Structure 1
């Protein structure tokens, strides 16, 4: 027991009534986890099913269980940050309640930590369990994000990872309200190693992430860690202006040299609609950044606790 540590498992929950007890019993039955000073920190992100009732029952049964109940659904990113902010362990491991992140991987993460790593990423070997569309979009997201972002993120790595106390304390100091946790967890740096694993099927229930939520999360990642989209529109604006000047020069030359009639209404409408569309897209990109600046300036809390003691910073 000399190598036992204070281990915090951070588990965001949203409408996972069927999966919570399965996860809890799986952890309790795992000897490589129970040998440590274990903290099971569940974050109820405004569940509307019986999740809160199940979590309260577990909390009363087991003093190792801590439950943070948010006042409404703030989203997984905020729930994950809340869990990390309140975790008290020497090492902190965020993971999903559906057991798709195998518990057998955690001892391997701990082994890398003992060898000196501050962050140990759990990386999926492949994405065979995902649909072809999800595999394609995930590959495109990672490729684009890592090309334009100042801080790249490891491909096929979710929230499942191990972080030392020093890393957790650094994350807690970050002030931003727009949360893209994959980027934040990579941004803080520290010595990082990777452990590969094969993801398991869900133990119960279904994923709460739909295509729209994933799209918004991707936008959050692009705008939180890169200004390249803004710069691209500057370049595009300059290119369009040059093309327009060249075309205007061509029309003037054609009129003076050959006396041809300058094209009228159809070409004019085409140009107006094209440039109008370009301007609207550019305004939309600019609006994404301005909207995030607006949210940051209000400095609202990332989440509001309904129940659950807040540990002192």
Structure 2
């Protein structure tokens, strides 16, 4: 399939309130597909948008039969939207990219060239991050390096979800039914031959980012707790560290007599309490993940699909077998 002149390529795009820019995205992708020798399907996953993003996508389907739409019943989150799109994709290779054109389609041919060379995963590595604040750039850089330091797998730094995956990688990902998926970590965990393609990330064409600090922190926590047990060990060490400091301070206060015993007792209590609270918090995070997995709820609910050979309505699981070409 890789050496065919026109292999079938799926492009998956999660969408959440992209009304201001989705029209431009549809136009740019339509022009890209028209100019390329490969066959394409464009799978947009509407992650519970409250604007007219889905309406614009459905309107574009009348002019472009390559467009597909998976419509969630509500907002389930960016990573689950990617998961659903991957499961609905039927291409020989699957490209995941954002719907705001910050991941430029012009990089895809280079990814395809690497894929044809035999690489199973070709991920986009950012050289520049245009249009982003210094704070977001700094925190992103810190997060990627922290994640690499504490996890058991070598997740590439300065990479997002923009990547191309061979069908056999996609088939493995479909078997992973994690409630809080961290897709880029899961792709690294799968293994196979992987390589980077460097690119300059563009500014958003329109609209605002839907990844505020709160969501970034949540994604960071998912990444760390999915692939590392270091925080559990760190919590135990910190508790011991706080206890040693408390004992040392108490002994010093008695030796110097500068502070009352009551003051030192308060300091010790605060230090030990901080250590215990941190430990309980980390344990709670892991227990919460175990609880979520034990419920066996569907990862997402698909209200409707459009553009597939077999349409589905009110699905609580992905009907992949019904969507094969």
Check conservation: 1:32, 1:107, Cα contact below 8 A: no
User: For residues 107-165 of structure 1, what are the alpha-carbon distances to aligned partners after superposition, in whole Å with 9 as ceiling and x for unaligned?
Assistant: 10000000000000111112353211111111110111111011132111111111000
| Corresponding residue of 1:206 | 208
- The Cα of 1:246 is off from its aligned counterpart by 6.3
- The Cα of 1:261 is off from its aligned counterpart by 12
The one of 53, 60, 63 aligned to 1:61? 63
Aligned counterparts, 1:84-163, within 5 A: 84-163=86-165
For residues 248 and 276 of structure 1, what CA distance do their matches in structure 2 show?
15
Check conservation: 1:6, 1:38, Cα contact below 8 A: yes
| Corresponding residue of 2:320 | 311
Specify whether residues 2 and 187 from structure 1 end up closer, same or farther in structure 2 by C-alpha distance, changes over 3 A only: closer
| Corresponding residue of 1:282 | 279
The unaligned stretches of length 5 or more in structure 2 are: 306-311, 313-318
1:169 aligns with 2:171: yes
- The Cα of 1:7 is off from its aligned counterpart by 0.6
1:296 aligns with 2:293: yes
- The Cα of 1:81 is off from its aligned counterpart by 0.4
Specify whether residues 133 and 97 from structure 1 end up closer, same or farther in structure 2 by C-alpha distance, changes over 3 A only: same
For residues 33 and 244 of structure 1, what CA distance do their matches in structure 2 show?
68
- The Cα of 1:103 is off from its aligned counterpart by 1.1
For residues 68 and 130 of structure 2, what CA distance do their matches in structure 1 show?
34
Check conservation: 2:249, 2:264, Cα contact below 8 A: no
For residues 262 and 49 of structure 1, what CA distance do their matches in structure 2 show?
61
Q: Secondary structure at the match of 1:104?
A: helix
For residues 287 and 31 of structure 1, what CA distance do their matches in structure 2 show?
47
Q: Secondary structure at the match of 1:123?
A: strand
| Corresponding residue of 1:272 | 269
- The Cα of 1:2 is off from its aligned counterpart by 4.6
Check conservation: 2:122, 2:194, Cα contact below 8 A: yes
The unaligned stretches of length 5 or more in structure 1 are: 255-259
- The Cα of 1:266 is off from its aligned counterpart by 1.5
Specify whether residues 133 and 250 from structure 1 end up closer, same or farther in structure 2 by C-alpha distance, changes over 3 A only: closer
Q: Secondary structure at the match of 1:193?
A: strand
For residues 117 and 13 of structure 1, what CA distance do their matches in structure 2 show?
28
| Corresponding residue of 1:10 | 12
For residues 246 and 160 of structure 2, what CA distance do their matches in structure 1 show?
45
For residues 233 and 296 of structure 1, what CA distance do their matches in structure 2 show?
23
Specify whether residues 33 and 177 from structure 1 end up closer, same or farther in structure 2 by C-alpha distance, changes over 3 A only: farther
Check conservation: 1:70, 1:305, Cα contact below 8 A: yes
TM-score, normalised on structure 2?
0.88
Higher CA-based Rg: 1
User: For residues 202-261 of structure 1, what are the alpha-carbon distances to aligned partners after superposition, in whole Å with 9 as ceiling and x for unaligned?
Assistant: 222221111111111111111111111110121223344455566778899x7xxxxx99
Check conservation: 1:33, 1:107, Cα contact below 8 A: no
